[in-house]
Amino acid sequence: MMKTTNSSAAIDPKALAQTTVYSILFTISFTHLLNDMMQSVIPAIYPLMKDNFQLSFTEIGLITFTFQVTASLLQPFVGHFTDKTPRPYSLAIGMSFTLAGLISLAFASSFIAILISVSLIGMGSSVFHPESSRVAHLASGGKKGLAQSIFQLGGNAGAAIGPLLAALIVVPYGQFNIIWFAFIAILGIIVLFRVGTWYKGHLISKSKNKTVAVPANHKALSKTKVITSLGILLVLIFSKYFYMASMSSYFTFYLIDKFHVTVQQSQIYLFIFLASVAAGTLLGGALGDRFGRKYIIWISILGAAPFTLLLPYANLFWCGVLSVIIGLIMSSAFSAILVYATELVPGKVGMIAGLFFGFAFGMGGLGSAVLGKLADITSVGYVFKVCAFLPLIGFVTGFLPNIEQTKKAAASA
């Protein structure tokens, strides 16, 4: 699978940049699956932790907030640093933090110990996402939307599988069984070491040809316009991930409270939602490459609004159906947003990926904490009624420039 490693130094960088290295894309997608599978164990065991440690919804929200903040704050700095001085084996090192966090979480005996454990897992994520996004970009061969979608597909699939495995392994048998996920982290370290070897070979090949220029796609856009566009994209990330926080952290509680399903049954509904998110992710990047990222961003945020508004009033069956539709539509946004942002600021893939992954995680963590407090004050059902309006923020997509047209105009000038 990794045969490109040994010969990469002999490949012309220009030819390499035009070749889509699917073996690397699917390998990095697989490690994203492992990474997010392990991370998704955290919200999946919330009902168990809530009972074991007598936690409030506010404390549940603080667990997510701690994880998301440690996962988000470091990402732009990691990305900015590695833009200047790439570190191919940092991916394996980051996964080692996740391994330490999982072992610590399996043995955690207090609320503080839980917070320390999830912060270690968050630190692993802060290294993994910007660097693995860079690897996907390098292996894209110009198909940047497709490459990000393949990469994101792994993460979303892992996020879907994680709660299902937690329902089968951890919830019935207890907290200590989180230790089984540590073996997944060890597998991830091994695979990422191999990816790091390919990455190192790519850098060596690139360094031998200094004539490969950094693309400057959008000189026609002013600095103010670029900054404004990045701000709009971050607002859209806020809308998406605040809503996703309500689903990932509180959907199980909502189903248990309103429909009196068991914890295991609620996890199955969460798995169905997250599986639809994984499916929608792959479509978003490919469609963005073909039809334009602005249109995909618009549809994926604003288009989810009718279904989020219906969800709080649906019965159990339609709640499941609507969650699938919401997952399919809303999940197509992130790959398109990320690639759009990297095209606005070419040559800064690590920093942009770190900024957007970090902001997404931060908004997810803040959303979970705020919504947990709101659930304590009111009810979980009220949380979903409030969050239903968030996708309406998608109307601000109309203020984004059509960068595909800008590229064509620059090329013809």
Higher pLDDT, 88 or 382: 382
The arithmetic mean of pLDDT across residues 275-304, rounded, is: 81
Which CATH number does the domain 15-412 belong to among 3.30.365.10, 1.10.275.10, 1.20.1250.20, 1.10.1270.20? 1.20.1250.20
pLDDT of residue 85: 79
DSSP-derived letter for residue 128 is: H
pLDDT class of 405 with cuts at 50, 70, 90 = low
Give me 364's structure tokens. Answer: 């997810």
Measure the CA–CA gap between 160 and 277, rounded to whole angstroms: 8
Distance separating alpha carbons of residues 352 and 334, to the nearest angstrom:
13
Whether residue 126 contacts residue 75, with contact meaning beta carbons closer than 8 Å, is answered with yes
DSSP 45-79: THHHHHHHHT--HHHHHHHHHHHHHHHHHTHHHHH
Nearest to 36 by CA among 248, 349, 330, 325: 248
Please tell me the predicted confidence (pLDDT) of residue 208. 67
- Rounded Cα distance between 37 and 110, Å, is 24
Q: What is the pLDDT of residue 209?
A: 64
Q: How many residues does the chain have?
A: 413
Among residues 397, 151, 374, 150, which one has the least CA distance to residue 246? 374
For the chain, the average pLDDT equals 83
Residues 360-382: pLDDT tens digits? 777 877 887 788 889 989 999 99
Continuous segment of H or E residues that includes residue 202: helix 180-207
Q: What is the pLDDT of residue 304?
A: 94
Q: How far is Cα of residue 409 from the mean position of the Cα atoms in its chain?
A: 33
d(CA 392, CA 300): 11
* CA 45 from centre of chain: 19
Task: Output the DSSP codes for 286-354.
Answer: HHHHHH-HHHHHHHHHHTTHHHHHHGGG--HHHHHHHHHHHHHHHTTHHHHHHHHHHHHSTT-HHHHHH
Cα 143 to the chain's mean position, in Å?
19
Query: What pLDDT shows up at residue 96?
Result: 95
- Does pTM top 0.85 for this prediction? no
Give the residue-averaged pLDDT of 209-233.
Answer: 72
pLDDT at 213: 47
207 pLDDT higher than 90: no
pLDDT of 201: 84
Higher-confidence residue of 379 and 216: namely 379
Q: What span, in angstroms and rounded, lies between the C-alpha atoms of 188 and 318?
A: 37
Contacts of 384 (CB under 8 A, 6+ apart): 246, 250, 254, 311, 312
214 pLDDT above the threshold of 70:
no
Average pLDDT value for residue range 122-147: 84
Percent residues over pLDDT 90 in the chain: 31
Q: What is the DSSP letter of 378?
A: S
Task: Look at residue 316 in the predicted model and tell me its pLDDT.
Answer: 95
CA distance 379 to 386: 11
pLDDT above 60: residue 410: no
Q: Is the pLDDT of residue 286 over 90?
A: no
Give the percent of the chain with pLDDT over 70.
89
pLDDT confidence of residue 1: 43
